[in-house]
Structure 1
Amino acid sequence: MSEYISPVPVPVPGAEPAEICREIYGMPMFVTVPSRDLAASRDFWMRGLGFVDLFSVPGQITHLRRWAFQDVLLVPGDPAGAAPAVRVGFSCVLSQIDEIAARCEELLPGCTSGPEDKPWNSVELEVVTPENARVVMTAARPLDPDGPQADWMREMGIEVPRP
């Protein structure tokens, strides 16, 4: 087996979140979110969703990041109306789901739905940000190879080794 290089921790009981990554690298993927109020958006993403401001050019762009390869660029602009401006998912660990939900609800009551257990062995929390972006925070559960999620995954053709 090759070396595990993902910044996402292996889903085991007690998994700790990855450190915030402040390195400068070629971003393999990022999302750009238009905002009418960059300062308010920056505050929500940082205090609610746990991002840091990697750098900002006032009035032009705010580059936010959590773990490596979880980059969001906030830019001036009009967010989408009733439709989501964007829908994007970010990995986290189980212990962060309730914390993120509580912080986001404190900042913007009614902005979260979930968390919800998914049959593919994750827990997902959806957050609607002030820009109307739909952010899904997803945490993998430790997989019991004899449990119902493993059975479901096998039925879907996903290889799940038995102990």
Structure 2
Amino acid sequence: MSEFKSPVPMPGPGVTAPEPYREFYGMPMFVILPTADVEESKDFWIRGLGFIDLFSAPENQVVHLRRWAFQDVLLVPGEPMPEPTLMSTSFSCVLDEIEPIAARCEELRPGSTTAPVEQPWNSVELTVLTPENARVVMTAARRIDPDSPVADHLREMGIDLPRG
């Protein structure tokens, strides 16, 4: 049996994001978003959030967007949510992507982002409101200092972390 390899890189200095994943697979999870303007939504997801158009059906009946492996979104024509929902969808990224994503989204839709926040679960998160009124969280893991109390606590819980 082979060992599972996550498409998300381990956090650390100088980590680069993987390229968008262009192969087809059985999708274990995906988001379907109705939108009144498929082209506007597609543009925001591609230029703002860094997704690619993996597949578009004729007349934009469905647009399959993807970032990394297992980060799939389907845009379909329809009425978007009337207002933002409290539920959010998170997509992994690396720390060096947070600020550029925020800048691109703000350029395309001023006021669509909140300032990145350091979370207690060891990530930095950027919340983005998309044209469909979907709340998308771009989340980047922070490196855990191997000599920190957090690392010691994780080791006490049985998580195997190397020491500095």
TM-score (normalizing by structure 1): 0.90
Cα gap change, 1:34/1:152 in structure 2, threshold over 3 Å: closer, same or farther?
farther
Q: How many residues align?
A: 161
* Paired position in structure 1 for 2:111: 110
Query: What's the CA shift for 1:84?
Result: 1.9
Cα gap change, 1:101/1:151 in structure 2, threshold over 3 Å: closer, same or farther?
farther
Separation in 2, partners of 1:99, 1:125:
11
2:155–2:161 contact (8 Å) kept in structure 1? no
Query: What's the CA shift for 1:94?
Result: 0.4
Query: What's the CA shift for 1:102?
Result: 0.3
Query: What's the CA shift for 1:146?
Result: 2.5
Q: What SS does structure 2 have at the residue aligned with 1:41? A: helix
CA-to-partner distance for each residue in 1:71-120, whole Å, 9 max, x for gaps? Answer: 00000111111242852000000000000000000000011012000111
2:84–2:129 contact (8 Å) kept in structure 1? no
Cα gap change, 1:90/1:66 in structure 2, threshold over 3 Å: closer, same or farther?
same
Percentage identity across paired residues of the two chains: 61
TM-score (normalizing by structure 2): 0.89
1:33–1:86 contact (8 Å) kept in structure 2? no
> What pairs up with 1:25-104 in 2 under 5 angstroms?
25-57=25-57, 58-84=59-85, 87-104=88-105
Q: Unpaired runs of 5+ in structure 2?
A: none
Separation in 2, partners of 1:78, 1:85:
18
Separation in 2, partners of 1:150, 1:133:
34
Greater fraction strand? 1
Q: What SS does structure 1 have at the residue aligned with 2:75? A: strand
CA-to-partner distance for each residue in 1:19-52, whole Å, 9 max, x for gaps? Answer: 1111011111110011000000000000000000
Cα gap change, 1:158/1:45 in structure 2, threshold over 3 Å: closer, same or farther?
farther
Cα gap change, 1:160/1:112 in structure 2, threshold over 3 Å: closer, same or farther?
farther
